[in-house]
Amino acid sequence: MKKTAPSPLKHWLTPALTALVVFFILLGTIVIKKTSPTTGSPESTASATILPAENISLPSPEFRSSNSVEATLKNRRTRRDFQDKELSLKQVSQMLWSAQGVTVDWGGRTAPSAKSTYPLSIFLVASKVTGLEAGEYQYLPGDRTPVHQLKPIQSVELQQALYEALNESSFKKAPAVLVITGNMGKMAEAYGGIGHDKEVYLEAGHVAQSLYLQAESLRLGMVVISSFDELKIKDLVTIPSSDTIIYLIPFGIPKL
């Protein structure tokens, strides 16, 4: 029996369809990679939902108070026990500004930075802050012009989870926690590719002291915590994989 020659259409249809399927699989992989957050651990934040995309403008910081620097230095103390009370957005705003607020038109901030590199980031884990959904936010200081906003990252209640992960009593009632992270790669770049981690840690120390003084002036309490399992924290809090967590700072209204 005479065989009929395959039609030219059938000839290229199978390879064309295969190529199309491979193309869409590759495209899908790229899109998923681009949209997933950069965390230290792939299984992190499983129960979290994404907060609305718009950044939140913070109340303007105050530049005056009735407390002298000297009196604030004298009264500064680490405080680990907090009242079960909400913080106002104004109090949180003032704390964030004291840590990294932009104060001059070339981008200088409240805390000094080696070679004006600004390798630190401040994340806020809010549990009880008036007007803020419980969740994780990143402070946006601004580059040259002050921005002073919060970028929502994930809607999640972390108070109990942080307490359990760290077994530190200060997390039990703290209405908010600041997470100070440092990008060692960014600092190394500023020094021609040679690692300068020391400067990043020193900068976090400057920021922590500003926070201590600001907290004291606002009659708030805080504790700096440097001893923790970084991987456990990165499982809970969404932190860029390029960043090292330097300090966790629970803060709130201190117990008298």
Ligand X SMILES: Cc1cc2nc3c(=O)[nH]c(=O)nc-3n(C[C@H](O)[C@H](O)[C@H](O)COP(=O)(O)O)c2cc1C
Site of interaction with ligand X (CB under 6 A):
77-78, 223-227
CA distances from 141 to 6, 56, 62, 98, 168 (A): 67, 12, 15, 10, 29
Nearer to ligand X, 58 or 176 (CB): 176
Smallest separation (angstroms) from ligand X to the CB of 227: 4
Q: Which is nearer to ligand X, 65 or 226 (CB)?
A: 226
Give the Cβ contact number of residue 58 at 10 Å: 21
Q: Which two tokens stand for residue 38?
A: 């950069």
Q: Which is nearer to ligand X, 90 or 172 (CB)?
A: 172
Tokens matching residue 174? 């703290």
Half-sphere exposure of residue 167, counting CA atoms within 13 Å on the CB side?
3
Instruction: Name the minimum Å distance from CB 211 to ligand X.
Output: 12
What gap in Å lies between CA 250 and CA 171, rounded to an integer? Answer: 6
Nearer to ligand X, 166 or 187 (CB): 166
Q: How far is the CB of 106 from ligand X (least distance, A)?
A: 30
* Closest listed residue to residue 163, CA positions, set 236, 244, 108: 236
Q: How far is the CB of 101 from ligand X (least distance, A)?
A: 22
Residue nearest to ligand X (CB): 78
> In this complex, which beta carbon is closest to ligand X, that of residue 36 or of residue 227?
227
The minimum distance between CB 63 and ligand X, in angstroms, equals: 26
Q: H/E element holding 75?
A: helix 69-75
